[in-house]
Amino acid sequence: MQRASILLLALLTFVPDNDQQPPTLTNPPGPPGLTGTPQGTAILRIEDARAATPQDVALLIESARSSQLFIQHAALRALGRLERRDVVTDLLPYLRSSSSATRTEAANAIAQAMQGDRLPLDPAGTQVDGVLTVFVDAIASEREAPVLAEMARSMARLPFERPEQVLRADGLLGKVLVLSGELTLGRAGSSAPAAIAGAASALELLARKHITVSPLSENTVDQLRALATGRAKAVGSPNSVRSARRLGFQALVAARGLDADGLRTNLTFADDEMVRRLAMQALAGGGSLITGPDRADHLRRGLKDPSYFVRAEALRGYIRHQVKADGCLPITEMLVDPSEHVVLAALDALGDACGGDEKAANRLIGEARTPPDRGSWRRESHALVALAKRSPANLAIPLLSHSRHNTWQVRMYAARAAAAANEIATLERLAYDDHDNVREATLMPLKRLKGNAAEPYFVAALGRSDYQLLRTAAREMNGMRVTAGATGALLDALKQVTSQRRDTSRDTRVALLERLREFGAERHREQLLPLLRDFDPDVAAAAATTLNAWTGEAFAIDPQPLTRPTLPSVAEIAIVTVQEAVLVMESGREIPIALDPTNALMTSIRLLRLTKANYFDNLTFHRIVTNFIVQGGSPGANEYMGDGPYLRDEISLRSNARGTVGLSTRGRDTGDAQFFINLVDNPRLDFDYTVFGRIPATHMSVVDEIQEGDRIIDVKFQRAPASRR
């Protein structure tokens, strides 16, 4: 993909080099960057402030009328991201723009704005009907397949509340799926694979979000069955056909329209491992359409599939459905699988699903040996936890060596093993470990095993600085005996974290305040009163609630927000426009990320700034979910430690396709620079997370091998090779 000049703000809209999702359009070249114009700078400021004043909203609406497309598109995106339905009327006319890129931006902005609260003057929700009508007309008359695809996906996101709304959208999407002659695009005779893929994606979204309002029509379900089984007319390149089949299968599953024949067909589909993965996932589920010997045969074949994606799903299915009947030998055989994902899942299964199997227990004794001082430790640690569950009598010797290991993750797993085996002495020792994630793993089991006598470990935890540890301590103290020491520790922890003035302390401080409702009293009110003017409105509200619980009085809040990070400079925009970010792993292998500054400018800039500050150096991937995502970028290697200022969500039409990179959050506008990489297509994440980059398919083998604790030694920015521009 050829990038635009570094002086252009209208940076190319991110387009994948594969067929994992409906394609999007590229923006036309534009004038110099947003921060190079007063109007552009104002748009960035207003979006980052979420349009704090009516004047801000008015400026965005005016900017959307600009004849300069890069200004217009930036304003449309900013208006949509406000998630306010009162701006929708101003957005609707842009669906008729002569610019295909503008029509696409408008569709997304309208759908995002409609996620806001219902208007006070619209108690019946009729605005949804009006917006739906506009979308129906726009889709019916659209001539460009990529635009139609995104209009379809946007329409499916509308907050439907009545069956007739869902069925009206369903009927139109069914016509798109077969390129009906009732559509302008259908009459044009174009093959339009993008439109078909867009319709399938939209139907998956429609069914997943609204099936409780109304199921899809039987006619549409039949069309999806044809698409998902290869019976529909093949349209486009082989990659396009495979992509449409995957999307159709996912839509069919979401619509609860999958039948046994369709499942069997896709379980043996040789041309696409991801189709087989989806089918195996459906087979492994609780409501499988294939049961008995037939299911067992498919699961056994799946365990030998050439794709680890399929083998991982087959293993899950075997554990769920067959292990009681057929035993643990097939699980034990997976311990020699070439994929570490599968091996670790098999070890976990030996602990969870193989009770009473002496051979499994003996295998775990051998596997739970002491990990080497350097290098891989995961196999031994997973085996240790499994051994604790299956054969705790054989745990003592390996537990001792694991609990004293110099790798903190090994000690954390030792704490989990001690919890499974109720080994109090080990838990007590690890409760004072040097690493806070190890301490955190001991708190729940110590409370369960010791009750109020576990108070010293909780008080000690509250004296630490890790947000996840503090949050866990506060939450787990629920119901414990109230003492002056515990109350003082909670108050001290709250004071310490508040003094850091970090957005990312929100969840921890709210947890501390919730626990203080139980542990505090009116005599502590003076310590909480300043929080009524806290920089975080959620914390201020929690403080008011706690004060009310203590005193019976009502307290007003007056939050004082922190100063937002500075807006990007022209030079910074230039860098993220023409350069890619590259993760350099401890193994020496590299993972390039092509950024998407058009749709996720502020996230791209934050990545650049943190890279310059060496923020990511020696951080790890701490969360690995096979056939889902890998997540990293936390200084604490956990969910709650991240960069201080929250990032605003930059929701776009970018789908969470395999290889895309998203921003981890814990609610709207709570990005903390932790990021995740999609290992597979994850449409259920679409429109909830900022997607800010893509990893080339040629480098996804590196990502597929990432495991817990794998270290990023550096992140660098460099000009992308010509092959990736």
pLDDT tens digit sequence for 168-215: 999 999 999 999 999 999 888 777 899 999 999 999 999 999 999 999
Judge if 555 and 577 occupy the same domain. no
Paired tokens of 91:
């957005």
pLDDT tens digit sequence for 518-545: 999 999 999 999 999 999 999 999 999 9
Please, which pLDDT band fits residue 14 given cuts at 50, 70 and 90? Answer: very low
What range defines the domain where residue 547 resides? 431-561
pLDDT tens digit sequence for 652-672: 999 999 999 999 999 999 999
Which of the residue ranges 73-82, 366-375, 507-516, 606-615 would you say has the lowest mean pLDDT?
A: 366-375
Which of the residue ranges 6-15, 372-381, 688-697 would you say has the lowest mean pLDDT?
A: 6-15
Give dist(CA 637, CA 674) in Å, integer. Answer: 10
Q: Read out DSSP for 81-137?
A: HT--GGGHHHHGGGGG-S-HHHHHHHHHHHHHHTTSPPPTT-TT-HHHHHHHHHHHH
Give dist(CA 519, CA 541) in Å, integer. Answer: 18
What count of other Cβ atoms lies within 10 Å of the Cβ of residue 723? 8
Residue 247 counted as domain residue? no
Q: Is it the case that residue 344 has pLDDT exceeding 70?
A: yes
C-alpha of 282 from chain center: 21
Residue 47 counted as domain residue? no
pLDDT tens digit sequence for 474-484: 999 999 999 99
Q: Give how far Cα 359 sits from Cα of 336, 362, 659, Å.
A: 16, 5, 40
Q: Is it the case that residue 15 has pLDDT exceeding 60?
A: no
Judge if 538 and 440 occupy the same domain. yes
Judge if 642 and 540 occupy the same domain. no
Judge if 447 and 486 occupy the same domain. yes
Q: Which of 528, 561, 594 is the last residue of a domain?
A: 561
Residue 594 three-state SS: strand
Residue 360 counted as domain residue? no
Q: Which of 625, 678, 635 is nearest to 655 (CA)?
A: 678
Judge if 540 and 599 occupy the same domain. no
Which of the residue ranges 161-165, 277-281, 558-562, 718-722 would you say has the lowest mean pLDDT?
A: 718-722
Query: What is the average per-residue pLDDT within 1-15?
Result: 30
Judge if 608 and 712 occupy the same domain. yes
pLDDT tens digit sequence for 486-495: 999 999 999 9
Judge if 717 and 639 occupy the same domain. yes
pLDDT for position 33: 59
Phi then psi dihedrals of residue 721, to 5 deg: -60, 155
Give dist(CA 61, CA 482) in Å, integer. Answer: 55
Give dist(CA 230, CA 252) in Å, integer. Answer: 13
Considering 20-34, 179-193, 449-463, the range whose residues carry the highest mean pLDDT is 449-463
Query: What is the average per-residue pLDDT within 489-507?
Result: 99
Judge if 516 and 605 occupy the same domain. no
Q: Which of 561, 580, 598 is the last residue of a domain?
A: 561
Residue 473 counted as domain residue? yes
Judge if 636 and 653 occupy the same domain. yes
Query: What is the average per-residue pLDDT within 437-451?
Result: 99
Query: How many domains does the chain divide into?
Result: 2
Higher pLDDT, 30 or 318: 318
Which of the residue ranges 234-248, 335-349, 382-396, 454-468 would you say has the lowest mean pLDDT?
A: 234-248
Contacts of 313 (CB under 8 A, 6+ apart): 277, 280, 281, 283, 284, 302, 627
- Would you tell me the crossing angle of helices 69-81 and 38-48 to the nearest 10 degrees? 10
Paired tokens of 646:
């929250």
Judge if 578 and 716 occupy the same domain. yes
pLDDT for position 720: 85
Judge if 601 and 672 occupy the same domain. yes
Residue 521 counted as domain residue? yes
Judge if 615 and 720 occupy the same domain. yes
Residue 377 counted as domain residue? no
Phi then psi dihedrals of residue 547, to 5 deg: -60, -40
Name the strand (E) or helix (H) holding 585.
Answer: strand 579-585
Q: Read off the amino acid at residue 529.
A: L
Residues 185, 214 contacting (CB under 8 angstroms):
no
pLDDT for position 725: 65
How high does pLDDT run on average in the chain?
94
Please, which pLDDT band fits residue 382 given cuts at 50, 70 and 90? Answer: very high
Query: What is the average per-residue pLDDT within 565-571?
Result: 95
Give dist(CA 181, CA 140) in Å, integer. Answer: 10
Q: Which of 562, 654, 566, 657 is nearest to 605 (CA)?
A: 566
Query: What is the average per-residue pLDDT within 154-158?
Result: 99
Please, which pLDDT band fits residue 287 given cuts at 50, 70 and 90? Answer: confident
Give dist(CA 176, CA 148) in Å, integer. Answer: 9
pLDDT for position 355: 84
pLDDT for position 65: 97
Residues 105, 69 contacting (CB under 8 angstroms):
no
* CATH code of the domain covering residue 638: 2.40.100.10
Residue 3 counted as domain residue? no
Please, which pLDDT band fits residue 234 given cuts at 50, 70 and 90? Answer: confident
pLDDT for position 9: 31
Give dist(CA 548, CA 403) in Å, integer. Answer: 44
Q: Which of 512, 534, 561 is the last residue of a domain?
A: 561
pLDDT for position 20: 35
Burial grade of 393 (CB within 10 A; 0-12, 13-18, 19 or more):
exposed
Residues 532, 559 contacting (CB under 8 angstroms):
no
Residue 627 counted as domain residue? yes
